[in-house]
Structure 1
Amino acid sequence: MQEPLTSFTEDVTATKRVIDSLDGPCVLVGHSHGGAIITEAGNDEHVKSLVYIAAHALDAGETEVSNGKRYPDTTPHGDIVKTADDYLYLNPADYARDFAADLPVAQAEFEAHEQMPTAASVFASEIPDPAWKIKPTFYLVAKADKIINPDLERMYAKRAHAKTVEIDGASHSAYESHPKDVAALIEQAAQQQGR
């Protein structure tokens, strides 16, 4: 599912719409900002476990911006472009280096030009009731991530008592560059629930 990226509330609403369309239990998987979305949407009774792939697992009172200041990433700030209406995206010339260093060049270049701008406001949104406090949690740390500091990813995983996998050389695009590791972690989350 592609969230709208227009506001945090609309992202969570879109996720809940999908959950509501399901007949049985499900596992929510989030990457990057998607982690914040599943942290909120995961409170739904149909959600049995959460899987974070190089993602934000915020606690109450935290934001992606505030945690990024505590654990700075290594992306040069000049690589982030802000539009006149307060949407953000990565400069396509820097995308491969910052977001997808372990993907084939042609794939990274394509993605650089098809990325969806994200409302800047989503990065300052707070989670009132984090689902990882009550749901089984799994986390993949991308050890070469330049978008989210790997130490921040480790902090998220540790405090959520997540079953954690760390991948050497994995960029922020770990879900694409290491699909077997990602699939295995999702399968673990699903099997724990007997599904």
Structure 2
Amino acid sequence: MVKTTAWDRQREAVREEITQTAIDLFLRQGFDATTIDQILEQVGVSRRSFFRYFGTKEDVVLGDLVSRGVAIAEALARRPAQEEPWDAIRAAFHEAQEISALDKQSTLALGRMLFDTPSLLARHVEKRLRWQELLVPLIAARLPSGGDRDLQAHAIVASALSCLDAASRAWLRSSGEAELGDLYDQAVAAVRR
């Protein structure tokens, strides 16, 4: 077990305060209309401190996206080896709570902001590419020998992530009324026809 120090807890508290303040401003004013200086003024930290926690303004919203990819990869690695790749990915998404919205209102607001803000969407796609790097070897190991397993695994993972994005957009259009997991299943069924 890794012990957290008082310094670690303090750093996490500051990071969380910056994140919450920034997101509140983004949702009130819009992402592009909110400046880093406005966030700094509200939180009372220096520009240098901000960039110690976040590489870009987009990372305030998407900062945990890479760690969510790691959680999916860990869930996928725990799936039974004989499980079909698409089923294993779905189960890993479910376990990592990628296909279930926990807090409907904030998830709706953040999702709309993400898909409506080009710079956020671009950074989201960039971070999602890291998910592919994590997931492709795990899917390739599940495929039968013969053929180009790496190519097949890339195609499956890229398709699954596209299905996740399509389901997320449909969920937003439904104002959170549709079941995200059902929408994901519908998107996968369309791809696998």
TM-score, length basis structure 1? 0.25
Q: Which has the larger radius of gyration?
A: 2
- Structure number with the bigger relative contact order (C-alpha 8 A, sep ≥ 6) is 1
TM-score, length basis structure 2? 0.25
Whichever structure has more strand as a proportion of its residues is 1
